[in-house]
A and B are shown apart, each in its own frame.
Chain A
Amino acid sequence: QKEVEQNSGPLSVPEGAIASLNCTYSDRGSQSFFWYRQYSGKSPELIMFIYSNGDKEDGRFTAQLNKASQYVSLLIRDSQPSDSATYLCAVTLYGNKLVFGAGTILRVKS
């Protein structure tokens, strides 16, 4: 079982819709959870991080964490074509290394 799992997609949503990206992790010792956005050929760019159960909102982005279910998600409201990218979920284990999932490709169609 992979430490961090994401659906590879692509996830296609129309412009203006809500995109929902999901991630599960295997190690209950995971402490911090991150969402990165990566455009083709570029390096990952941090969008949000969360470490407490519940929701955390930042502009059009909301991260949701459920440690009991070992599940973290990212909602993107009012999706724009510029949001089309690969979204990487990452977790830190015991405050040490950052472990990534394979990423979900998001396509926002105008």
Chain B
Amino acid sequence: DTGVSQNPRHKITKRGQNVTFRCDPISEHNRLYWYRQTLGQGPEFLTYFQNEAQLEKSRLLSDRFSAERPKGSFSTLEIQRTEQGDSAMYLCASSSQELNTEAFFGQGTRLTVV
């Protein structure tokens, strides 16, 4: 296990369809984060988990977005009824629980809604 893995790397979907992304964190990391990034902006926080518990969800996150981490290992992010505004890079990161430790990112999933 050499890093955070995200699948798929690219996803093109039609407006109104549902999509699901997967993130496999670094194995010893118990924190997992989801971010969204659009062109020219920094990563925008969506939600994060500590083990299987979802500890915080952004107020900006629509009800169409849901994330799970059922066994405290991999996580999925689902977007229902996609809209063109959902087109972005979706980034997953993981870190250990300890204070002052760094978070490492996966390669991201680029979503294009047409």
Residue of A nearest to B55 (CB): A96
A-side contacts of B91, CB under 8 Å: 43-44
Whether A42 pairs with B107 at a CB distance below 8 angstroms is: yes
Q: B65 to nearest A CB, angstroms? A: 16
Q: How large is the interface on A (under 10, 10 to 19, 20 to 34, 35 or more residues)?
A: 20 to 34
- Give chain B interface residues in 76-114, CB to chain A under 8 Å: 89, 91, 93, 95, 99-108
Total A-B residue contacts, Cβ distance less than 8 Å = 59
Whether A98 pairs with B103 at a CB distance below 8 angstroms is: yes
Q: How large is the interface on B (under 10, 10 to 19, 20 to 34, 35 or more residues)?
A: 20 to 34
Residue of B nearest to A49 (CB): B102
Inter-chain pairs besides A45-B105, A90-B42, A98-B95, 4 sampled, C-beta below 8 Å: A42-B107, A44-B91, A97-B45, A100-B43
Chain B residues with a Cβ under 8 A of chain A: 33, 35, 40-45, 48, 55-56, 89, 91, 93, 95, 99-108
Residue pairs across A and B with Cβ atoms less than 8 A apart, 29 shown, are A4-B42, A31-B100, A36-B105, A42-B108, A43-B89, A43-B91, A43-B105, A43-B107, A43-B108, A44-B43, A45-B105, A46-B102, A46-B103, A46-B105, A88-B43, A90-B42, A92-B100, A97-B48, A97-B56, A98-B95, A98-B103, A99-B45, A100-B35, A100-B42, A100-B44, A102-B40, A102-B41, A102-B42, A103-B41
